[in-house]
Amino acid sequence: MQAIVLVGGEGTRLRPLTYSVPKPMVPLLDRPFMEHVLLRLRDAGIAEVILAAGYLPEAIQRHFGDGREIGLRLHYVVEEVPLGTAGALKNVESLITGAFFVFNGDVLTSLDLGAMREFHRSKGGIGTLHLTPVEDPTAFGCVEHDGEGCVARFVEKPRAHEVTTNLINAGTYLLEREVLAAIPAGRNVSIERETFPTLIAANGRKLFAYATGDYWIDIGKPENYLKANVDILQGNIPLHTVGTTAPHVPVKSPSFVGLGSSVEGRAEVGPNTVLGRNCRVSSGARVSGSVLWDDVSVDRDAVIEGAILAGGVHVGAGAHIGRGAVVGHGEEIAPGVVIPAGARVPTPA
Ligand code: GDD
Ligand code: MG
């Protein structure tokens, strides 16, 4: 079976992290986020994946190549201008041979794809949408379905008064090839705002909803990205792709330390902390509930709490980085400086 993964978004909500790295390539413990996703697809028996890219596609291509190393056949189709979540599918129509999976490229879930395929076959619809319950559907696509599981209404980013269910579009679809015929070519088309509502209104074969209680997260916002890291550390996601933590580095568990990283004796690292490769935490510094990418150095007595630091950041002695702060690639945090909770450095334009 073929799959299309949508990886063309600019990752606006993850800025400044996504100035240097496209959203699919942000690290999750020991490897890029997208690698965890692709390995799950491979393990579910998917052999061929089309990556519909647009923003910083080279970074994705450089890492995965033709996919051989992870046991997949990968194709890259790069959009000159963003074609939207349905336009991206129309754009790869010539590569699609039958029913296919579609994945939003920023979702991590333990959904059983084989079971979803069985469900889709048994319903015989034109497509099946995976749904998941959330507390606040306003940031998602709200999906209503009837007693038979037939999708009755799709409202993207509903306003609070439009929310009628806590079940949202979880960003995994199984679609019959004929769905592509319903997407106009040559312009930006949103599957959520245009294609699904069109299919629901049409008199043809139905769209079905497949709601599950699986682990599910969209890493597209800093707080969710941080949560995904912590969830893996705490064993809440059945990911078997995570490598081993660097040995002999004193940290409070659960934490993960990449190869080549060092923590000085009187430093405190963890719990719920990820250090990438070749990080250095000096004596007296404290790092907790945080994710530090590769090559981050933290000088003496600095404190980092619940923050995300991109690659190559240098935190000066005694600096303090507050909860929810996000620091972009290569930033210099001067000694003693206080970065307030929730701040983004540099501030996105
Ligand atoms: N190729 C391509 N071209 N990909 C795109 C484009 C485009 O023009 N625009 C967005 N994408 C990709 C993004 O990279 C991402 O992987 C996926 O499509 C979804 O885009 P987001 O920007 O992350 O959308 P969202 O999170 O606000 O909402 C979507 O996901 C929710 C679940 O997380 C919608 O599908 C909602 O209905 C859904 O509930
Ligand atoms: Mg998203």
Backbone angles phi, psi at 147, to 5 degrees: -60, -30
Whether the per-residue pLDDT at 4 is higher than 70: the answer is yes
> Which of ligand 1's atoms lies nearest the C-alpha of 5?
16
Residues 262, 190, single domain; the answer is no
**CB of 130 closer than 8 Å to CB of 170:** yes
Q: Is the Cβ atom of 85 under 6 angstroms away from ligand 1?
A: yes
Residues 53, 173, single domain; the answer is yes
Name residue 298's beta-bridge partners. 281, 315
Atom 3 of ligand 1: nearest residue by CA position? 8
Going by pLDDT thresholds of 50, 70 and 90, the confidence category of residue 172 is very high
Give every CB contact of residue 34 below 8 A, 6+ residues apart in sequence: 5, 7, 24, 25, 60, 64, 105
Mean residue pLDDT across the chain? 96
Residues 51, 199, single domain; the answer is yes
| Last residue in a domain, options 197, 221, 245 | 221
Q: What is the mean pLDDT of residues 16-42?
A: 96
Going by pLDDT thresholds of 50, 70 and 90, the confidence category of residue 242 is low
Percent above pLDDT 70 for the chain: 99
Give every CB contact of residue 215 below 8 A, 6+ residues apart in sequence: 108, 109, 110, 231, 236, 237, 238
What spacing in Å lies between the alpha carbon of 85 and ligand 1's midpoint?
6
pLDDT in tens, 73-123: 999 999 999 999 999 999 999 999 999 999 999 999 999 999 999 999 999
Rounded Cα gap, residues 188 and 303, in angstroms: 45
What spacing in Å lies between the alpha carbon of 24 and ligand 1's midpoint?
12
CATH number of the domain residue 262 falls in: 2.160.10.10
Q: Is the Cβ atom of 106 under 6 angstroms away from ligand 1?
A: yes
Q: What's residue 237's pLDDT?
A: 87
What spacing in Å lies between the alpha carbon of 302 and ligand 2's midpoint?
33
- % helix, strand, coil for the chain, step of 5: 25, 30, 45
Q: Which residue has the tokens 């596609």?
A: 57
Residues 137, 283, single domain; the answer is no
What residue numbers bound the domain in which 47 lies? 2-221
pLDDT in tens, 31-65: 999 999 999 999 999 999 999 999 999 999 999 99
